[in-house]
Structure 1
Amino acid sequence: MSKVVTFRNNVIDAVKGLFPEMDVEWYDGLFDEQDIADWTLKTPCARVAVMNAPTAHHSTMEMNTSLRVVVVIIDENRHVALDGDARAWEYVEKLAVFANLNKFNTPDAAPATKVRFKRISQPVLRREGVSVGVVEWESSVMIGRNRVLERDYFYRPDGSMITQTPQSRVIARGYAHNEAGMTAEDELDVTPEVD
């Protein structure tokens, strides 16, 4: 499976763990009023997208992809007018704090940076009692083959890396010298000269 898709799935699992009451799925990064109308049938809900993956070569010959992760959170008014706004802000703020410096259980990912969050204000949505919040951040994920591991390490015929090294036992005796360069034994052998 693609490392980007695996990372996106890890983000979805993390958001589900943070907000168990939410319906969390992926989306392609674009949404309109019709999408929001469909999503409000399952409020509160979150939609996760991973977009814009510029790459840079790394010294291991892998590519370092800088992923832009966007999470859209939708809620609606329940008990009183505009109470969905307070809950949307609470979800957005909690997710922003959670995402900051998080690797989302991905070994080849760097901690998330450049976390931004905002509420989307639109009169039509407000009149319908719908609150939309967005949290976005950047996460770098290494993709490709790590050729340094292939070149500098040894592997078994089954392809697993040999990590255990031969053990040896070394017993050494060291001598501590004083300022004159003498050891403790040398000092004991010194006999005063008698004239």
Structure 2
Amino acid sequence: MGKITEFRQNVIDGLKGLIPQLDVDWYDGLFDEHDIADWVLKTPCARVAVMNVPTEHHSTGELNACLRVVCVLIDENKFASLDGDGRAWDMVEQVAIWANQNQFGNKDAGPADKVKFQRLSQPVLRREGVTVGVVEWVSDLMIGTNKVLGRDFVWFNGKMVTQTPSTTVTARGNVHTQRYGDTEELDVTPEVP
């Protein structure tokens, strides 16, 4: 599994933990009323898409993939007319707060930012009792090989050297006292971590 699909799966797993009753899956980033009709059969549900926006080269030799993540949340009226609206807004709010500054368990991902959310208003869906909310954010994900690790660090037997031998320094100095012109010898051993 590549880093991008792993990142998307982390978002999906996180949503399942955030709102346990959600049926969560991925989609390709485009949807229409036919997709929503299929998704309504599993409400409440969420569909997650990860799309790439312009990638930036990084000084480490890696690519900084600025991922545009879109989460579509769908619910429907259950007990009264338009009662799905409140539940949809609640889910949108929970997901927006959860996504803000989240790295989704990935050490190579930056904190999510530029969180946007909205409720989609469409008369046909409203008449059918379907509510749709969208939460969108940007997450930076470093992909590729970090060439700095091989170029700027010391390696031994395939492992990065992280600890170097320590040494002890002993110094001898002569201190002259002004009073009698005598010399005292001091043993100075500085502490070296």
Q: Structure 2 length normalisation: TM-score?
A: 0.86
% identical aligned pairs: 58
- RMSD value over aligned CA atoms? 2.0
Deviations 1:67-100 (A, max 9, x none): 1000000001111111100000000011001101
1:21 partner letter: Q
Distance 1:47 1:60, change over 3 A: same
The residue correspondences of 1:63-78 to structure 2 (distance < 5 A) are 63-78=63-78
The residue correspondences of 1:116-135 to structure 2 (distance < 5 A) are 116-135=116-135
Structure ranking higher in strand proportion: 2
Total equivalences in the alignment:
181
Structure 1 residue 40 displacement after superposition? 0.7
1:167 partner letter: P
Structure 1 residue 156 displacement after superposition? 4.9
- 1:146 counterpart residue number: 146
- 2:50 counterpart residue number: 50
Distance 1:99 1:172, change over 3 A: farther
Structure 1 residue 153 displacement after superposition? 2.4
- 2:91 counterpart residue number: 91
The separation in 2 between residues aligned to 1:134 and 1:84, in whole angstroms, is: 14
Secondary structure of the corresponding residue to residue 149 of structure 2: helix
Structure 1 residue 6 displacement after superposition? 0.8
Secondary structure of the corresponding residue to residue 141 of structure 2: strand
Secondary structure of the corresponding residue to residue 118 of structure 1: strand
Distance 1:22 1:167, change over 3 A: same
Aligned mate of 2:165, from 138, 152, 167: 167
Deviations 1:93-137 (A, max 9, x none): 110011011110111111001000000000111011100000000
Structure 1 residue 166 displacement after superposition? 3.1
Unpaired runs of at least 5, structure 2: 182-193
The residue correspondences of 1:95-110 to structure 2 (distance < 5 A) are 95-110=95-110
The separation in 2 between residues aligned to 1:85 and 1:172, in whole angstroms, is: 76
Structure 1 residue 174 displacement after superposition? 9.8
The separation in 2 between residues aligned to 1:15 and 1:174, in whole angstroms, is: 66
Unpaired runs of at least 5, structure 1: 176-182
